[in-house]
């Protein structure tokens, strides 16, 4: 890190930069030598004067810090060799075309839910009627029992609202065709529906008002108390009302759109009774507020656990606007079946993928607008189930920006295919590939004879430990765990099965066990821009003890979990878990002394989910952009936070040789696409990246540049 | 003679309770499978009259004695959804079907069965206890084994098997570690099935007749050594195809709380899933919910009593201040009292000095003077002569009771029978 810091001093002092910086990869001599430069040069480089060769856009690709730390900055002209003529032909268009061809547009009426039915005394079964029923009964029955025909005895006329829910499937159209004496559209909005719309509009107004209040609360830096006492000034109120009024002018919007507006602010203050009431009104899950809440944490949502699940379950069929996949994910969040930032994010994105696949634009609406509204309604449902994690928030922001970017000219199936592949790439690149890079970096920090301590169960740390073990490093792992979730047990189980030697202990023993530890690896739910690590509760404690023992603390966190927020304590933003789970010890009936005490007025149970570790206690943050000190987090957030989500692109050269022919492969796994200036990617075949293998050389038809010891060689083919 | 689905419960066919519950849950497309062409015609006729414009119902007819499994086989080609919900038509319940489906979806189960506590029949009432012994049928009581979290079904045995030994798979017991065995629960005949699995089982096992006695126990029995080609196999292939999918799958799997199925599938120290498993889930209806099956005469009477009594939200009627329902067109004679928890259908006439307690009286009944009806169900178009006394009995449509007949715990089943005598108890006619 020191070397990087020194290189920062070289930077033009007028540009104030935080974090580490290196010289830009586009030095003047290269610009002169390459005719097709304008295409390749990053937009920011254009803005800066040609004399200033230092562009803040480029951050060197992560490397092994030991050997290649200074290689790229020192010889920038060599790092990006002149591309061959074919290099410029790379186009994302090709790629997306491939994708469209590969993933054929899904069938329109494929989405089905379980439908109920009934029988006389027998079982009955039912299914989605549409396609099934219109198909004439096949002659060959699947069993000995003669197939029975179906007689339609009762037909229903569906109001238009429902037909939309069914995804414009065939069945509904058929049904509405059948409904001969259908009434005009207007009459079909029932009283209840009208009321729902009205109520939603009212709620939207309230939300707008609330937003007006919230903005100052956010600026009042992380002080929950002051935010609480902030009363909306009349001025603000007026402006909020104006906003709401202008919103109302929008005319008849669907309820769903209103829901989008109603998505509670991530840092909504839950101790404001009126606002909570309004939120409750539109909430799907209908939580019951817990009674005895700890004073300091009243601004956080806390509900009676165990009341939400049955209510949500019973609404399975009512939530027609909700895609079943999203519903399932929400249910799993609520019941705690899925936890962990990466897993929750992947599960959510995959559910969205499915929802988008089954989506069809309603008539007279544009895809981008309607789909955004739809995604927003899904998100608000997921928030109802469990507050979003930072990783999910970032993923949602990405998805929405991708939806917004879709050109109107694109056909629906193409747009859906694009979004599908976008999500796929987000998962692959921001999570899976990022994890691989993190593993690659972190493994260099593990030496033989190390004793590594980890807390809880982090997916990144687990991969690091397993990979280090596969590399044959000799080390021991201490897994520190805590009640009530005992997440470490599962990690322990998996590690022990792989043959790692482990020690398992609880956080109570941390000060004892820390004596023998040489390194601490921690996972994180999020890293905030002041370097604060927001993670499972207990992490701060572990980090502080390690700091006290002068043991390096390495936090492994994918860059997509970084957030620009600044947080000084774990009070203002946190999540509250089920208070019962800390008062009850499963399997130990004899010590459950607090049974029934939760109704007592002077007992308050606090089960925090997260805590904030100050950056002082963190030695290093390992991300997919390299190993950085906690002070450099703002750089990552600034440079890669928004808009530039496509930094990496994984490419299997053997699977798609044509696509890779224009890429430049580096030994340490870096792939550079000269035609797409900023696109760097990592290529991790299973073999160690000590040299390019024959397959690759044969298949890429132009040349490959190999960097070795700072020298770059072109391999012409 | 009346198909069971059309038996009146509080003057509405029992099937309507199921349909209404489904309609409430926004399930509007149904297939009703009826045994026998004659019955199908009547059921279809009733549904088309009652639910036109509200539900999209198809009626399928299957020959008699094919059993529930056979019925499903017959309509298998009409099913297209990923999951199907199978509900018995005689279920009177206010448990939302969505809850069952949600539990099913949450675990990606192969089958989810709804179980409820065995109804506490009105034992305190002397009138009904006698009838109960007689109407008790084998197979009504189940032994149900669940895992400690009460989410998975580990063992199910119906009453018929109960007389023999109960066999529990050792492997299941070993995998779970602990099993709760309950005898106070019963299968409510509301299942959510994974369609492809259900069809596969039905195709492979030709001899399976009943969902409850064959299919469900089979699925439960084989849950740890699944012979079904469910998602397990294709998932594994997918994971092999693409390394990234595999990783994300692993991240997901690691982060989610594993059920004993996954732990078992992984084997004691193996890394890759070696054993195929599938999940059988249960949804236990809470005790506050009402859930009874109409599968005996006793149950019929209980349901009738409950629907106008404690579970009156099911009936969908508005109760008067006296906690009873008297249709405006019903005519009451002087000094006639209709107690709470009673129901009087439209167009019924009652003479003087009658008393009705906790009973349901159907439409267009004519009841003479001085008649006592207690704890009974009187269906439509029944004529009851003067001075009759009816206790704990069921009187079917179009029956005629002559004067001064006393019935206690009787079932007057046949239509247009005329009863002259006084009967003591437990007689069928």
**pLDDT single digits (tens) A446-501:** 999 999 999 988 888 999 999 999 999 999 999 999 988 888 888 898 899 888 99
Tokens of A336: 């705690």
**What count of CB pairs under 8 Å joins A to B?**
325
Q: Does A149 touch chain B (CB under 8 A)?
A: yes
My answer on whether B282 and B369 are in the same domain is: no
Q: Which residue has the higher pLDDT, A41 or B289?
A: B289
- Which CATH number do you get for residue B368? 2.160.10.10
Q: Which residues pair with B282 in a beta bridge?
A: B113
Give me the residue from B30, B67, B271 closest to A116, CB to CB. Answer: B30
- Cβ of A118 and B85 within 8 Å? no
Give me the pLDDT at residue B1, please.
57
Nearest CA to A124 among B359, B116, B84, B136? Answer: B84
- Residue in chain A nearest B79 by alpha carbon: A127
Domain encompassing residue B401: 317-412
My answer on whether B213 and B321 are in the same domain is: no
Contacts of B103 in chain A (CB under 8 A): 313
Write the secondary structure of B314-331 as one string of H (helix), E (strand) and C (coil).
Answer: CCCCCCCCCCCEECCCCE
Residues 271-300 of B with CB under 8 A from A: 271, 286
Dump the DSSP string for B348-405.
Answer: -EE-TT-EEES-EE-TT-EE-SS-EEES-EE-TT-EE-TT-EEES-EE-TT-EE-TT-
My answer on whether B8 and B52 are in the same domain is: yes
For residue B423, tell me if it sits in a domain. no
My answer on whether B217 and B359 are in the same domain is: no
Give me the pLDDT at residue B257, please.
60
Please give the mean pLDDT across all residues of chain A: 64
Give me the residue from A113, A150, A433 closest to B59, CB to CB. Answer: A150
- Cβ of A115 and B5 within 8 Å? no
My answer on whether B283 and B359 are in the same domain is: no
Give me the pLDDT at residue A261, please.
43
Interface mutation vs chain B, best among A108, A109, A114, A334, most B CBs within 10 Å: A114
Nearest CA to A103 among A428, A419, A430? Answer: A419
How many CB atoms are closer than 10 A to CB A75?
Answer: 14
Nearest Cα of chain A lies from the Cα of B40 at a distance, in angstroms, of 9
Contacts of B51 (CB under 8 A, 6+ apart): A153, A154, B19, B23, B57
For residue B236, tell me if it sits in a domain. no
For residue B427, tell me if it sits in a domain. no
B166/B170 Cα distance (integer angstroms): 12
Please give the distance of CA B223 from its chain centroid, rounded to a whole number.
Answer: 25
Contacts of B18 in chain A (CB under 8 A): 118
Task: Map tokens 């599968």 to a residue.
Answer: B295
E strands, B94-142, in order: 111-117
Q: Which residue has the higher pLDDT, A632 or B106?
A: A632
Interface mutation vs chain A, best among B94, B102, B194, B208, most A CBs within 10 Å: B102
pLDDT category at A593 given cuts 50, 70, 90 is confident
Give me the residue from A148, A342, A435 closest to B60, CB to CB. Answer: A148
- Contact indicator for A156, A176 with CB cutoff of 8 Å: no
For residue B260, tell me if it sits in a domain. no
pLDDT category at A279 given cuts 50, 70, 90 is low
- Contact indicator for A83, A663 with CB cutoff of 8 Å: no
pLDDT category at A545 given cuts 50, 70, 90 is very high
Nearest Cα of chain B lies from the Cα of A429 at a distance, in angstroms, of 9
For residue B266, tell me if it sits in a domain. no
User: Residue B297 pLDDT > 50, yes or no?
Assistant: yes
- Contact indicator for B57, B32 with CB cutoff of 8 Å: yes
- Cβ of A127 and B18 within 8 Å? no
- Which CATH number do you get for residue B85? 3.90.550.10
- Cβ of B78 and A132 within 8 Å? yes
Q: Does B56 touch chain A (CB under 8 A)?
A: yes
Give me the pLDDT at residue A668, please.
39
Nearest Cα of chain B lies from the Cα of A136 at a distance, in angstroms, of 9
Nearest CA to A563 among A592, A591, A530, A594? Answer: A530
Give me the residue from A114, A156, A338 closest to B255, CB to CB. Answer: A338
Question: What percentage of residues in chain A have a pLDDT greater than 90?
Answer: 14
For residue B398, tell me if it sits in a domain. yes
My answer on whether B331 and B393 are in the same domain is: yes
Give me the pLDDT at residue B22, please.
80
My answer on whether B20 and B151 are in the same domain is: yes
pLDDT category at A535 given cuts 50, 70, 90 is very high
How many CB atoms are closer than 10 A to CB A266?
Answer: 13
For residue B329, tell me if it sits in a domain. yes
Task: Mean pLDDT check: name the lowest of A302-311, A517-526, A601-610, B20-29.
Answer: A302-311
My answer on whether B283 and B378 are in the same domain is: no
- Contact indicator for B169, B221 with CB cutoff of 8 Å: yes
Give me the residue from A127, A331, A332 closest to B78, CB to CB. Answer: A127
Give me the pLDDT at residue A705, please.
45
Using DSSP's 3-state secondary structure scheme, residue B294 falls into: coil
Give me the pLDDT at residue A598, please.
65
- Residue in chain A nearest B95 by alpha carbon: A314
Nearest CA to A514 among A556, A456, A452? Answer: A452
My answer on whether B176 and B321 are in the same domain is: no
My answer on whether B332 and B286 are in the same domain is: no
- Cβ of A142 and B77 within 8 Å? yes
Q: Does A157 touch chain B (CB under 8 A)?
A: yes
Q: Does A668 touch chain B (CB under 8 A)?
A: no
- Cβ of A123 and B255 within 8 Å? no
pLDDT category at A547 given cuts 50, 70, 90 is very high
- Contact indicator for B229, B200 with CB cutoff of 8 Å: yes
Residues 421-440 of A with CB under 8 A from B: 427-428, 431-433, 435
* A436 secondary structure, DSSP code: H
* pLDDT 10s digits, B113-146: 888 777 654 333 333 333 344 444 444 466 788 7
A182/B272 Cα distance (integer angstroms): 57
* pLDDT 10s digits, A59-84: 444 444 444 333 434 443 443 444 44
Contacts of B192 in chain A (CB under 8 A): 114
Question: What percentage of residues in chain B have a pLDDT greater than 70?
Answer: 71
Residues 201-230 of B with CB under 8 A from A: 202-203, 206, 211
Q: Does B59 touch chain A (CB under 8 A)?
A: yes
Q: Which residue has the higher pLDDT, A446 or A138?
A: A446
My answer on whether B87 and B176 are in the same domain is: yes
Using DSSP's 3-state secondary structure scheme, residue A707 falls into: strand
For residue B220, tell me if it sits in a domain. yes
The total domain count for chain B is 2
* B153 CB-contact burial (10 Å; exposed 0-12 / middle 13-18 / buried 19+): buried
My answer on whether B285 and B328 are in the same domain is: no
Give me the pLDDT at residue A29, please.
44
User: Residue B178 pLDDT > 80, yes or no?
Assistant: no
Q: Does A116 touch chain B (CB under 8 A)?
A: yes
């Amino acid at each position: 890190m020191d070397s990087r810091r020194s290189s920062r001093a070289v930077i033009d002092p007028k540009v104030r930069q935080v974090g580490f910086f290196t010289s830009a990869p586009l030095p003047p001599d290269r610009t002169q030598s390459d005719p097709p430069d304008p295409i390749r040069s990053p937009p920011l480089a254009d803005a800066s004067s040609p004399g200033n060769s230092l562009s803040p856009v480029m951050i060197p690709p992560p490397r092994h810090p030991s050997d290649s730390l200074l290689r790229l900055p020192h010889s920038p002209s060599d790092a990006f060799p002149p591309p061959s003529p074919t290099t410029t032909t790379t186009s994302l268009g090709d790629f997306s075309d491939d994708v469209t061809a590969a993933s054929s547009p899904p069938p329109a009426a494929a989405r089905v839910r379980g439908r109920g039915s009934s029988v006389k005394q027998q079982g009955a079964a039912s299914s989605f009627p549409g396609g099934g029923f219109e198909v004439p009964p096949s002659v060959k029955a699947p069993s000995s029992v003669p197939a029975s025909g179906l007689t339609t005895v009762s037909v229903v006329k569906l109001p238009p609202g429902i037909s939309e829910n069914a995804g414009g499937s065939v069945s509904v159209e058929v049904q509405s065709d059948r409904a001969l004496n259908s009434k005009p559209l207007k009459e079909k909005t029932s009283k209840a529906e009208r009321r729902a719309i009205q109520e939603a509009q009212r709620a939207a107004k309230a939300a707008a008002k609330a937003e007006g209040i919230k903005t100052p609360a956010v600026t009042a830096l992380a002080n929950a108390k002051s935010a609480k006492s902030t009363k909306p000034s009349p001025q603000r109120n007026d402006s909020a009302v104006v906003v709401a009024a202008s919103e109302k002018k929008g005319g008849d919007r669907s309820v769903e759109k209103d829901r989008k507006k109603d998505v509670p602010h991530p840092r909504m203050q839950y101790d404001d009774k009126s606002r909570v009431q309004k939120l409750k009104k539109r909430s799907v899950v209908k939580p019951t507020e817990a009674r005895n809440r700890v004073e300091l944490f009243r601004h956080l949502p806390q509900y009676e656990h165990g009341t939400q699940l049955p209510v949500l379950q019973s609404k399975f069929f009512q939530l027609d606007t909700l895609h079943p996949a999203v519903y399932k994910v929400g249910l799993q969040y609520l019941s705690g079946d899925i936890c962990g930032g990466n897993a929750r994010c992947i599960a959510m994105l995959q559910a969205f993928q499915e929802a988008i696949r089954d989506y069809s634009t309603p008539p007279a609406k544009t895809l981008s607008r309607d789909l955004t509204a739809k995604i927003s309604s899904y998100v608000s449902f997921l928030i109802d189930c469990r507050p979003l994690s930072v990783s999910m928030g970032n993923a949602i922001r990405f998805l929405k920006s991708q939806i917004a970017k879709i050109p109107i000219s694109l056909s629906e199936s193409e747009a859906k295919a694009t979004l599908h592949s976008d999500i796929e790439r987000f998962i692959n690149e921001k999570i899976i590939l990022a994890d691989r890079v993190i593993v690659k970096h972190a493994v260099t920090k593990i030496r033989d004879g190390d004793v590594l301590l980890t807390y809880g169960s982090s997916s990144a740390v687990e991969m690091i430990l397993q990979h280090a073990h596969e590399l044959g490093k000799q080390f021991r792992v201490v897994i520190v765990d805590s009640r009530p979730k005992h997440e470490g047990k599962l990690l322990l189980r998996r590690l022990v099965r792989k043959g790692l030697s482990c020690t398992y202990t609880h956080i109570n023993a941390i000060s004892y066990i820390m004596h023998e530890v040489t390194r601490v690896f921690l996972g994180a739910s999020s890293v905030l821009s002041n370097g604060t690590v927001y993670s499972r509760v207990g992490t701060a404690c572990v980090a502080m003890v390690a700091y006290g023992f002068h043991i390096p603390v390495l936090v492994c966190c994918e860059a997509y979990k970084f957030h620009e927020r600044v947080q000084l304590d774990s009070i203002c933003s946190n999540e509250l878990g089920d208070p019962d789970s800390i008062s009850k010890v499963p399997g130990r009936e004899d010590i459950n002394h607090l049974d029934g005490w939760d109704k007592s007025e002077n007992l308050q149970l606090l089960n925090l989910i997260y805590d904030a570790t100050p950056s002082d206690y963190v030695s290093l943050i390992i991300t997919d952009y390299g190993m950085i000190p906690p002070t450099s987090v703002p750089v990552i957030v600034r440079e890669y936070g928004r808009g530039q989500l496509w930094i990496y692109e994984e490419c299997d050269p053997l699977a798609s040789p044509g696509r890779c022919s224009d890429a430049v492969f580096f030994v340490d796994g870096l792939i550079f696409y000269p035609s797409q200036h900023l696109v760097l990617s990592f290529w991790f075949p299973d073999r160690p990246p000590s040299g390019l293998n024959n397959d690759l050389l044969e298949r890429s038809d132009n040349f490959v540049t190999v960097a070795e010891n700072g020298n770059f060689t072109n391999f012409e083919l | 003679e009346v198909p069971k689905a059309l038996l009146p419960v509080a003057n509405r066919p029992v099937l309507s309770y199921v349909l209404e519950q489904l309609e409430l849950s926004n399930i509007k497309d149904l297939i009703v499978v009826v045994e026998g062409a004659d019955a199908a015609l009547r059921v279809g006729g009733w549904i088309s009259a009652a639910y036109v414009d509200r539900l999209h119902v198809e009626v399928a007819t299957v020959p008699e004695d094919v059993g529930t499994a056979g019925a499903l086989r017959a309509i298998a080609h009409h099913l297209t959804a990923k999951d199907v919900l199978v509900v018995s038509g005689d279920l009177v319940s206010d448990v939302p079907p969505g809850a069952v489906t949600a539990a099913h979806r949450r675990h990606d189960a192969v089958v989810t069965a709804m179980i409820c506590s065995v109804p506490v029949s009105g034992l305190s009432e002397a009138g009904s206890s006698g009838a109960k012994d007689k109407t008790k049928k084998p197979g009504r009581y189940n032994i149900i084994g669940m895992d400690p979290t009460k989410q998975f079904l580990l063992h199910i045995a119906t009453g018929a098997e109960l007389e023999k030994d109960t066999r529990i798979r050792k492997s299941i017991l070993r995998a779970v570690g602990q099993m709760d065995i309950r005898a106070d629960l019963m299968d409510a005949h509301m299942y959510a099935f994974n369609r492809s699995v259900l069809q596969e089982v039905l195709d492979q096992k030709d001899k399976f007749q009943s969902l409850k006695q064959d299919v469900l126990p089979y699925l439960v029995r084989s849950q740890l050594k699944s012979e079904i080609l469910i998602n397990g196999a294709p998932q594994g292939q997918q994971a092999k195809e693409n390394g990234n999918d595999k990783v994300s799958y692993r991240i997901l799997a690691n982060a989610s709380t594993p059920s004993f199925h996954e732990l078992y599938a992984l084997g004691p120290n193996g890394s890759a899933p070696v054993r195929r498993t599938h999940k059988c889930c249960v949804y236990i209806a809470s005790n506050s919910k009402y859930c009874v099956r109409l599968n005996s005469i006793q149950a019929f009477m209980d349901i009738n009593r409950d629907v106008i009594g404690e579970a009156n939200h099911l009936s969908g009627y508005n109760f008067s201040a006296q906690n009873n329902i008297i249709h405006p067109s019903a005519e009451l004679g002087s000094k006639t009292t209709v107690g709470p928890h009673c129901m009087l259908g439209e167009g019924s006439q009652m003479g003087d000095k009658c008393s009705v307690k906790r009973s349901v009286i159907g439409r267009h009944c004519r009841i003479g003077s001085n008649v006592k009806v207690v704890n009974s169900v009187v269906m439509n178009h029944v004529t009851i002569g003067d001075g009759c006394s009816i206790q704990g009995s069921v009187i079917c449509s179009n029956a005629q009771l002559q004067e001064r007949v006393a019935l206690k715990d009787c079932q007057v089943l046949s239509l247009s029978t005329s009863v002259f005598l006084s009967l003591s108890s437990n007689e069928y006619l």
